[in-house]
Amino acid sequence: MKKQQRQADIVKTLRSSREPVSGTALSEIFQVSRQSIVQDIALLKAAHFNIISTNKGYIIVDPPPREKIFKVSHNHEEIGDELYTIVDAGGFVRDVYVLHDIYGKIQVDLFLATRADVDAFVAGLKEKKTSPLMKLTDTVHYHTVEAVSDSILAAVEKSLTEKGYLISVG
């Protein structure tokens, strides 16, 4: 299979998958090395395909996502509910960050699209006995949320407001 055809087929595979597709899975599908897949993905990104690399694999976002930044606050026990609120409305939680008085912006990619993703994230916090970033700023933190439409972002905003988590939208 020629490289250009493989790249076109990678795009089709990513578009047809509802879950991230790992580089290993792509290398098995197309019978090439994982390094070849990494190179193909880099070339596709350079060609303006909106491919996101997550810890679970690659996803493609079509059309290019819209995004909003939500400034939120809640207690530690409400982390899962806050994230469920976003993904249940159709949002994709790209990251979490805080604005620290001394260190400035501290940001971590999350890439949460489903309740299962949220469950894994919350379980990871519990298993590793890790404090969330919001602990640094008295529970105030920000999420960059992506969606395929403005109406989904509006639904996220409405749901966060109804639950009392939303401080402001940027």
Return the residue matching tokens 């197309």: 30
Say which residue, 25 or 55, is predicted with more confidence.
25
Per-residue pLDDT for 113 more than 80?
Answer: yes
Distance separating alpha carbons of residues 11 and 47, to the nearest angstrom: 12
Per-residue pLDDT for 77 more than 90?
Answer: yes
- Return the structure tokens found at 50: 């909106």
Q: What is the pLDDT of residues 91-109, one digit of tens each?
A: 999 999 999 999 999 999 8
With bands split at pLDDT 50, 70 and 90, how would you rate the model's confidence at 29? very high
136 in the Ramachandran plot: left (φ > 0), alpha (ψ -120 to 50) or beta?
alpha
- Mean pLDDT for the chain? 92
With bands split at pLDDT 50, 70 and 90, how would you rate the model's confidence at 119? very high
Q: What is the pLDDT of residues 131-148, one digit of tens each?
A: 899 999 999 999 999 988
pLDDT of residue 130: 87
Closest CA to 132 of 118, 115, 116, 153: 118
Per-residue pLDDT for 64 more than 70?
Answer: no
pLDDT of residue 149: 86
CA 70 to mean position of chain CA atoms:
14
Question: For the packed helices 150-162 and 79-88, what is the interaxial angle rounded to 10 degrees?
Answer: 150
| Domains with residue ranges and CATH for the chain | 3-60 (1.10.10.10), 66-169 (3.30.1340.20)
